[in-house]
Structure 1
Amino acid sequence: MLQQFYPQPFPHSYKFELNKDMNFSSAHFIPNDKAGKCSLTHGHTYFVNLTIVGDELDEMGMLVNFSDLKKLVHGKYDHHLLNDFPEFKKMAPSTEVVAQTIYGVVEAYLVTLANQPKCIQVMVRETPTSYVVYRPKESKGKSNHE
């Protein structure tokens, strides 16, 4: 794999920062005439980078198991039509919405872990020239995600 460069998250004071790269192949469409060609069903190989931070490691000496993160994203969305998932019924799966949704899936898992790691950034690359970075806003020390 070629060396990848990613937008850096805002500075943080956590001891550990973990980044996990993965990809999944899925189709989607944006059901709006303003979306042009994207209103038609088409596919992408999405490349995803997750940035997870924390101060405590688990009993195995890990912040989060890399394979668990891959199962959460690749295991769920690979080779599916994204529009068929309930989480994309309210808002069509644009790259922005996909990034925010992946954040929600990952964060929902992380809050169940005893060492309480946090997801601070999700980058989703839809094409070689287009990507989105989702960073949850912070409020009173807790992430404020929708």
Structure 2
Amino acid sequence: MMQQIYPAPAHDFRYELNKDFQFAAAHYVPHEEAGACRNIHGHTYFVNITVAGDQLNDSGFLVNFQLLKSLVHKRFDHTLLNKDRLFSEDLSERFPTTEAVARVIWEVIQKELDRAPNKPKCLQVFVRETPTSYVVFRPRKGDFA
């Protein structure tokens, strides 16, 4: 895993945790302006998840690191992202671009966090697709349940 300094989201929570991991996946962007990216190709995605909150759970965690990894790695590693139901061939907002990958990861994680009694929030998802290209997704306040 490459050493990386991530942009930090501003917040007033007591606790912030970050989890780094990577997964390998293929995708294609189903649009004529995508150029060569219209063809199936793969990446090793490097991901950083930032979660914050004020209360720890019954185990003393804000969120268990393994939960974060399992939500993303088990779902997306060694897959064709276009086949996942959270992506679409018809809606540009749901094409598996790096931007949408970051947002979908946030959606998957926040949906699970909304079930937690201590109500942590996923504040940021950083996705590096190549050594020179990355996306940061940060939800707006209204995106939280």
Give the TM interval when normalised to the shorter protein: over 0.9
AA aligned to 1:44 is H
How far the C-alpha of 1:124 sits from its partner, in A, is 0.5
Q: TM-score, normalising length from structure 1?
A: 0.92
Runs of 4+ in 1 over 6 A off after TM superposition: none
1:133 aligns with 136
Q: Which secondary structure does the structure 2 equivalent of 1:48 belong to?
A: strand
Q: Distance in 2 between matches of 1:126 and 1:52?
A: 21
Which of 72, 76, 100 is 2:103 aligned to? 100
Q: Alignment length, in residue pairs?
A: 141
Q: Which secondary structure does the structure 2 equivalent of 1:50 belong to?
A: strand
How far the C-alpha of 1:3 sits from its partner, in A, is 3.1
1:82 aligns with 81
Matched, 1:47 2:46: yes
1:96-141 deviation per Cα after TM superposition (whole angstroms, max 9, x unaligned): 00000000000000010111100010000000100000001114xx
Q: Which secondary structure does the structure 2 equivalent of 1:88 belong to?
A: coil
Q: Distance in 2 between matches of 1:84 and 1:43?
A: 14
- How much identity, in percent, do the aligned residues show? 52
Q: Which secondary structure does the structure 1 equivalent of 2:112 belong to?
A: helix
AA aligned to 1:127 is T
The 1:33/1:19 distance shift into structure 2, 3 A limit, reads same
Instruction: Note the aligned Cα RMSD (angstroms).
Output: 1.3
Matched, 1:67 2:66: yes
AA aligned to 2:41 is H
The 1:2/1:77 distance shift into structure 2, 3 A limit, reads closer
2:19 aligns with 20
1:3 aligns with 3
How far the C-alpha of 1:2 sits from its partner, in A, is 4.7
Q: TM-score, normalising length from structure 2?
A: 0.93
Give 5+ residue unaligned stretches, structure 1.
none
Q: Distance in 2 between matches of 1:116 and 1:86?
A: 26
